[in-house]
Amino acid sequence: MFARLLRLFKVESMIKPDLVQGELPTTKQAYKDVLQIALPSIMELVLISLINSMDTMMVGTCGDAAIAAVGLVGQPRMLLMALFFALNIGVTALVARRKGEGRQNDANLVMRNALVIILILSVVIMLVAIQFSKDLMWLAGAKEDTIEQANIYFCILTAVLPVNAMTLCINAALRGIGNTRTTLKVNLTSNIVNIIFNYLLIGGNLGFPRLGVTGAAIATAIGIVFGFFLCIIAIIPHKGSDQFLKLSRHDNWKLDKTTVKSIFSVGGNAMIEQAALRFGFFTYARICAGLGTDPFAAHQIACQFLNLTFSFADGIGVAGTSLVGQNLGKKRPDLSMLYGRVSQRMAIIVSMTLFSLLIIFRYQLVGLYTQTPHVVEMAAMLMIMVAIFQPLQTSSVVISGCLRGAGDTKFVAMVMIMCVSIIRPILAYSSVYLLNLGLMGAWSASIIDMTIRLTCVNKRFNSGKWTSIKV
């Protein structure tokens, strides 16, 4: 039994002999290739999630209302970022494909054009969002005890939206060539800056003013700006360097029609996907916020751990995206299929480990955020749901990442729209307000949504139709 199970994790079992078009890596080498990209990316994303969690922990010293206020900002902010997340999916896929094809100049052209587009769009979105910030907070479910803090937090973070969006674009390009080590270094340093200013500004330490939620926002903004400058330094040409991605003021910064078309061709479907996703998540969060401040605080605590564990899935997904795209560029769809399945096998191992840890240590983990007894109990129950979520979430995210790397963004978008924008909100509303199942009902809706998502993307990947997509 064990031997049969072990065989599923070997290269020979992951691809049919009649599909092989050349030499395959050994099992050890295949997992090593994925890990080289995935591990730095996982570390980077975990760090980002931990910083967000530390924000919440430190803000938690100001009370449960402060936790809820910061949590309210999450989905409106992500809604604003949806367009840039979508474009960056196109950037990663195109840069990965150009890397595989050996077209360095075209890869750099993709990055430059994307930066110009993102700068223009982000400035417009920033100005509009700040103008209507309070309306967005009310729409997100803010109450009288959270509206002011939530609004201030949102406005400060929105002010650095252009800088944040361009940083994400550069990181997306670097991930496309598999250079996740640089993005790790950038985010590690910027997050350390964030932590330092959190300490100084939230609690008012070392002579700095005690600013609470406002201090957390300022600290995050400073970290974002610092990270942007580090990203710029990372892609400035260095004498004698053979770096693949380069950025210089002497480059041609005019928009190239063909390149822009390619970015929007791949990113366009992802754009629709992201808009639908953010609408779905926004609606879902609004439903949960309607249950009251304490239940929503418990919901936010559980979401902190869901986001943290998502980092593992997304990190492996980045590796899948990069390797699938690069090998399709090399005209090796067999290797793309192989590395996609290696990524999936790693996802299974990681998700089962996380499942166990979340079940065993749920009370201790929740206790890091609050000591309010009824909030602790509610959050601990939700942690069981977070654990159940792991195998579904990790596998779904990794497979979707592989499909995006192939440019199959249309199919992924259709699945996400159906599940997150339609099925999840309807089930959540019905469970919470018609069946009176509260938070457990809302989270059950999420699990059903994720199960359907996984079934659809897994069937698509196994079909192999994505190997013939041109980008």
Q: Does residue 1 lie in a domain region?
A: no
* pLDDT score, position 430: 92
* pLDDT score, position 235: 83
Q: Whole-prediction pTM value?
A: 0.71
Which tokens in the block code for residue 16? 């049919």
* pLDDT score, position 222: 92
* pLDDT score, position 5: 66
Least-confidence region, from 77-81, 90-94, 274-278:
274-278
* pLDDT score, position 242: 67
Residue 148 has pLDDT above 70, yes or no: yes
The proportion of the chain whose per-residue pLDDT surpasses 90, expressed as a percent, equals 13
More confident of the two residues 36 and 59:
36
Give residue 60's pLDDT band: very low, low, confident or very high (50, 70, 90): low
Residue 471 has pLDDT above 70, yes or no: no
**What's the CA angle centered on 194, arms 192 and 199, to 5 degrees?**
100
| Structural domains of the chain, count | 1
* pLDDT score, position 163: 93
* pLDDT score, position 145: 66
Residue 55 has pLDDT above 70, yes or no: no
Mean pLDDT of 106-113: 85
- Whole-number Å distance between alpha carbons of 235 and 390: 35
Q: What is the pLDDT of residues 192-230, one digit of tens each?
A: 888 888 888 887 788 888 887 788 889 889 988 998 998
Q: Does residue 367 lie in a domain region?
A: yes
Q: Does residue 14 lie in a domain region?
A: no
Q: What is the pLDDT of residues 364-389, one digit of tens each?
A: 888 877 778 888 888 888 889 989 98
Least-confidence region, from 1-10, 95-104, 304-313, 416-425:
1-10
Q: What is the pLDDT of residues 306-357, one digit of tens each?
A: 878 888 888 888 888 888 888 888 888 888 888 889 899 988 888 999 999 9
Residue 275 has pLDDT above 80, yes or no: no
Mean pLDDT of 253-282: 78
The proportion of the chain whose per-residue pLDDT surpasses 70, expressed as a percent, equals 91
Residue 292 has pLDDT above 90, yes or no: no
Distance of CA 39 to the CA centre of its chain: 15
Tokens 């590690």, residue located: 188
Q: Which of 340, 344, 316, 319 is nearest to 175 (CA)?
A: 319
* pLDDT score, position 192: 83
Tokens 């059903």, residue located: 448
Q: Does residue 13 lie in a domain region?
A: no
- Whole-number Å distance between alpha carbons of 316 and 368: 27
Contacts of 3 (CB under 8 A, 6+ apart): none
Q: Does residue 41 lie in a domain region?
A: yes
* pLDDT score, position 452: 94
Q: What is the pLDDT of residues 387-404, one digit of tens each?
A: 998 899 899 989 998 898
* H helix intervals, 330-433: 333-360, 362-366, 373-405, 409-416, 424-429
* pLDDT score, position 63: 65
Which tokens in the block code for residue 441? 């009902």
* pLDDT score, position 282: 77
Report the phi/psi class of residue 436: left, alpha or beta, with left for phi > 0 and alpha for psi in -120 to 50: left
More confident of the two residues 34 and 178:
34
HEC readout, the chain: CHHHHHHCCCHHHCCCHHHCCCCCCCHHHHHHHHHHHHHHHHHHHHHHHHHHHHHHHHHHHHCHHHHHHHHHHHHHHHHHHHHHHHHHHHHHHHHHHHHHHCCHHHHHHHHHHHHHHHHHHHHHHHHHHHHCHHHHHHHHCCCCCCHHHHHHHHHHHHHCHHHHHHHHHHHHHHHHCCCHHHHHHHHHHHHHHHHHHHHHHCCCCCCCCCCCHHHHHHHHHHHHHHHHHHHHHHHCCCCCCCCCCCCCCCCCCCCCHHHHHHHHHHHHHHHHHHHHHHHHHHHHHHHHHCCCHHHHHHHHHHHHHHHHHHHHHHHHHHHHHHHHHHHHHCCCHHHHHHHHHHHHHHHHHHHHHHHHHHHHCHHHHHCCCCCCHHHHHHHHHHHHHHHHHHHHHHHHHHHHHHHHHCCCHHHHHHHHHHHHHHHHHHHHHHHHHHCCCHHHHHHHHHHHHHHHHHHHHHHHHHHCHHHHCCC
* 438-460 as b/e: b if 16+ CB within 10 A: bbebbbbbbbbbbebbbebbeeb
Q: Does residue 10 lie in a domain region?
A: no
* pLDDT score, position 49: 67
Least-confidence region, from 70-74, 331-335, 421-425:
70-74
Give residue 152's pLDDT band: very low, low, confident or very high (50, 70, 90): confident
* pLDDT score, position 280: 80
Q: Does residue 9 lie in a domain region?
A: no
Q: What is the dihedral of CA 307, 342, 410, 444, to 10 degrees?
A: -40
The residue range of the domain holding 193 is 20-465
Give residue 108's pLDDT band: very low, low, confident or very high (50, 70, 90): confident
Q: Does residue 3 lie in a domain region?
A: no
DSSP at 255: P
* pLDDT score, position 461: 92
Which tokens in the block code for residue 41? 């990316």
Cβ atoms within 10 Å of 355's Cβ, excluding its own: 18
pLDDT, averaged across the chain: 83
Residue 162 has pLDDT above 90, yes or no: yes
